[in-house]
Structure formats: structure tokens, C-alpha cells
Amino acid sequence: MLKIRLAVGGKKGKRFYPIVLAESQSPRNGKFIEKLGYYDPFAKEKKLNCDEKKVKESLSKGAQPTDRVHRLLHEAGIMDTHPFHSRKDLDRVVFKNAKKKEKK
């Protein structure tokens, strides 16, 4: 299964995070298929720089973003759906939607 996730780069105290497409079983900083961009949390404005076309293409082929990458892509306007903080949040939304359908 393919994942879109953050790798770690830079030195201690000045990290940056490349956004990579990799197999879910490969190590965090190990072999990856493609570099999609990077995230720099220490920039004045937290900077996400990624190739939107490559990200959307990877997602359409079935790659799953990690929670953090999902949140970053949502904040950048690349992904429409909002990431859930936990499984409980997802269950709560599904339950509310089911109640709304019953009322109709």
C-alpha cells in the first residue's frame, strides 16, 4: 500500500520535512518512490511547497496520506475533506448523519 508521508531532513533544531510517496512498510527516511514536496515548520509562515498535480495523481491511484499530511494538504487547499482527529470523531459524524437520515 502506498502512503504519502513526511520524511525527516535537516539538522537538530532546524528540521524540514520532505513529503514523499513511499511503500507503507519502508522506513521513515528510507527508500521512497517519488518526492512530492516539502514542509518547513520553521519558516515565518509555515511553508508547504508541493506539486499539486503529483499529489492529486497519487491520491487518485489509491495512495493514502498520513494524518499529518492530510491536515497539511487540507490547510493548503489541495484536499477538500477535513481529516478526523480520531476514530471516535469519525464515528460521531457517521452517527449524526445516520440520525439526520432517519428523521427525513
Assign 3-class secondary structure to 20-43. EEEECCCCCCCCCCEEEEEEECCC
Range of the domain at 23: 2-103
Query: How many domains, in total, are found in the chain?
Result: 1
CATH, residue 89: 3.30.1320.10
- Cα separation, 22 vs 29, in Å, equals 10
Cβ within 8 Å of residue 70, ≥6 positions away: 79, 83
Predicted confidence band at 4 (pLDDT cuts at 50, 70, 90)? Answer: very high
- pLDDT higher than threshold 90 for residue 5: yes
What are the pLDDT digits (tens) for 38-65? Answer: 999 888 877 889 999 999 999 899 899 9
Contact 41, 100 (CB under 8 A): no
